[in-house]
Amino acid sequence: MRKKVIAGNWKMYNDLDATAELLNGLKKGIGNSEAGCTVIVCPPYTSLSLASSLLKGSIIKLGAQNMYFEEQGAFTGEISAAMLKSAGCEYVIIGHSERRTIFRETNGMINLKIKKALGSGLKPVFCIGETLEEREKGITNEVLKTQLEEGLAGLGEDDVNKIIIAYEPVWAIGTGRTATPEQAQEAHKFIRNVIGEKFSPAVAGNIIIQYGGSVKPDNAAELLKQEDIDGALVGGACLKADSFLSIIRSA
Ligand code: 13P
């Protein structure tokens, strides 16, 4: 039985005041009892330390939205895995489609980031997904397979056991156009099969595969009911405590 994982990707939203307001709202709504699912918030870098201190004693876990794969050095504007650890992060989103498209991240760079995150004790939330053009061409599965093979190249079963995969069809991100539960389930099943072939049936059976792309309080339950959907990576709807709490309750 895989425990559902609901993560909120805040993207480039929320200054320190808004961070405190949102986290206090979430803490109040969740309480300190053990939730039936794992809850992660991924604020921008500038809010991580504040979030870490506000979340002390809470079941809500902390993640970052990106990192660089080098240890340290002259990489102006970049943040290392060790810095994220020292700021209190347990998770890090890697390979989000906005990083891939706007900041030109390649599968090769994403692979280096995943390896560095794992080596530093961070759990990667590894994002993959096809564009609308790729879906319409009928090459969704090839695209997902390549992203998985190149992103996870050189990793062993023990490494992959620590990774969460987030399937985020690019055409569903921020568009209000969610994949249907059937479309999402089909992709998730395919992803799990690829993991089974590349690693082992046991790894495939345990790995958490989240769906992301216009997840809202009114569609979360239907998506989360699907056999191979183990959680959600939420963008817009995680910025208000009420709507994020409602999605957490669906899980
Ligand atoms: P939206 O929920 O706003 O579509 O964003 C999804 C996403 O990109 C989460 O990483």
- The alpha carbon of 64 is separated from its chain's Cα centroid by a whole number of angstroms, namely 10
What is the distance, to the nearest Å, from the Cα of residue 202 to the centroid of all Cα atoms in its chain? 21
CATH code, domain with 203: 3.20.20.70
In the annotation, is 197 catalytic? no
Q: What is the pLDDT of residue 161?
A: 97
Pick the catalytic residue: 98, 130, 134, 168? 168
Q: Is ligand 1 within 6 A of the CB of residue 214?
A: yes
pLDDT at residue 142 in the model: 98
Cα distance between residue 34 and residue 150, in whole Å: 36
Which pLDDT belongs to residue 32? 59
236 lines ligand 1 (CB under 6 A): yes
Longest CA–CA separation in the chain, Å: 48
> What's residue 1's pLDDT?
82
Q: Please list the ranges in the chain whose pLDDT falls under 50.
A: none
Contact 127, 95 (CB under 8 A): yes
Distance of CA 2 to the CA centre of its chain: 16
Q: Give the contacts of 147 (CB within 8 A, at least 6 positions apart).
A: 95, 107, 128, 129
Report DSSP letters for 196-239, one per residue: HHHT-HHHHHH-EEEEESS--TTTHHHHHTSTT--EEEESGGGS
Confidence (pLDDT) at 56: 96
Distance of CA 133 to CAs 60, 71, 111, Å? 37, 37, 24
Question: What's the pLDDT at 230?
Answer: 98
Helix H or strand E encompassing 6: strand 5-9
Kind of pairing, strands 164-167 and 208-212?
Answer: parallel
Active site residue 96: yes
Q: Output Rg (C-alpha) for the chain, integer angstroms.
A: 17
Q: Of these residues, 96, 98, 130, 188, which one is catalytic? A: 96
Alpha-carbon distance 23 to 16, whole Å? 11
Q: Which domain holds residue 65?
A: 4-250
- For residue range 27-56, what is the model confidence (pLDDT) as tens digits? 999 965 666 899 999 999 999 999 999 999
Ligand 1, atom 1, lies closest to the CA of 235
Query: What pLDDT, on the 0 to 100 scale, is given for residue 217?
Result: 97
Distance CA 101, CA 129 (A): 12
Number of domains in the chain: 1
Q: Could you tell me the pTM of the whole model?
A: 0.97
Query: What would the two tokens of residue 123 be?
Result: 């759990």
List phi, psi (to 5°) of 229. -100, 110
Query: Looking at residue 31, what is its pLDDT?
Result: 67
- How many DSSP H helices and E strands does the chain contain? 12, 8
